[in-house]
Amino acid sequence: MSIFLAYLLKFRIRKTDMKRITFQLLLFCCLCIGTTLFGQNNPSNISLTGDQVDINQMHWRGIGPYRGGRANAISGVIGQEEVYYAGYTGGGLWKTIDGGANWFNLSDGFFTTSSIGDIAVSTKDPNVVYVGSGEHAVRGVMTTYGDGIYKSTDAGKTWKNIGLEKTRHISDVLIHPDNPEKVYVGAQGAVHGASKERGVYISDDGGQNWRQTLYVDENTGVSSLMMDPSNPRILYAATWDHRRLPWKVIS
């Protein structure tokens, strides 16, 4: 600011130049304010002592990417604290390698759907990533279905569809902690009609072949699938009959 004032006092400035310089000054002030409000630095009121952080002083803030509506899926990478994958109901799959400061799209050109249900990164080999398509948070106004499972073996650079196209809505994808080729999938199936492509599916060869190991009925799908962290042989599946059928009341 002092440099700008000195410039005004030293030189005689034409009216047109004055307008241009005033605009540049205003732009400079806006950039300074924006940096203060939206910067990535930690707030000064958060006390950090070694590895200790006071959770009560922390606050949530949006870090993007701002595309595609609701974010249904997110996954980190063990040992890589700045790397995350995020999936949207209509915005595809995204990745950050700097803790959310920047995001780039992974699904464009590879996926034939923009609706993501779940993301799983192998703890044994972080280059292996599985993505289940089709949003699992069913809504009355609109729910977009997918076309099965996608797999990457190069940390998201390239993708291949590996089946289960008719499951439509995939709620969970789990990877065996010691074997990235063993995959478990929880599928809800079609939202508005009967379907046999529901339940729990398992692949022992990285998605080349699938077998259905849990099937309740044509109307009931799997809404959640969990693995016992102390024993990967134990799985828990929650099921949900979310079909909406018409009723007629005769009084």
Which residues 6+ apart lie within 8 Å of 91 measured at CB?
Answer: 65, 67, 68, 69, 114
Which residues 6+ apart lie within 8 Å of 219 measured at CB?
Answer: 194, 241, 243
φ/ψ (deg, to 5) at 56? -65, -20
Please, are residues 174 and 160 in contact by the beta-carbon 8 Å criterion? no
Full pLDDT tens readout for the chain, 251 residues:
444 444 443 434 444 454 555 555 555 554 444 433 333 444 444 444 556 677 788 888 888 887 767 888 999 999 999 999 999 988 999 999 999 999 999 999 999 999 999 999 999 999 999 999 998 777 665 678 899 999 999 999 999 999 999 999 999 999 999 999 999 999 999 888 899 999 999 999 999 999 999 999 999 999 999 999 999 999 999 998 876 677 778 87
Name the token pair of 28. Answer: 């400079």
Please, are residues 218 and 243 in contact by the beta-carbon 8 Å criterion? no
Handedness of CA 36, 41, 44, 46 (dihedral sign): positive
Burial class (CB in 10 A: 0-12, 13-18, 19+), 111: buried
Q: Please tell me the predicted confidence (pLDDT) of residue 220.
A: 93
Separation CA 112–CA 40 (nearest Å)? 34
SS3 content of the chain, % helix, strand, coil (to 5): 15, 35, 50
Separation CA 204–CA 239 (nearest Å)? 23
Separation CA 89–CA 136 (nearest Å)? 9
Name the token pair of 88. Answer: 């949207």
* pTM listed for this prediction: 0.76
- Give the closest residue to 73 by CA, choosing from 95, 88, 56, 58: 88
Tell me 42's DSSP state.
P
Separation CA 158–CA 107 (nearest Å)? 9
Longest dimension (CA), the chain: 92
Q: Please tell me the predicted confidence (pLDDT) of residue 22.
A: 53
Q: Please tell me the predicted confidence (pLDDT) of residue 246.
A: 75
Handedness of CA 9, 13, 17, 22 (dihedral sign): positive
Q: Please tell me the predicted confidence (pLDDT) of residue 39.
A: 34
Separation CA 143–CA 245 (nearest Å)? 17
- What angle do the packed helices 15-38 and 2-10 form, to 10 degrees? 180
Three-state SS for 63?
coil
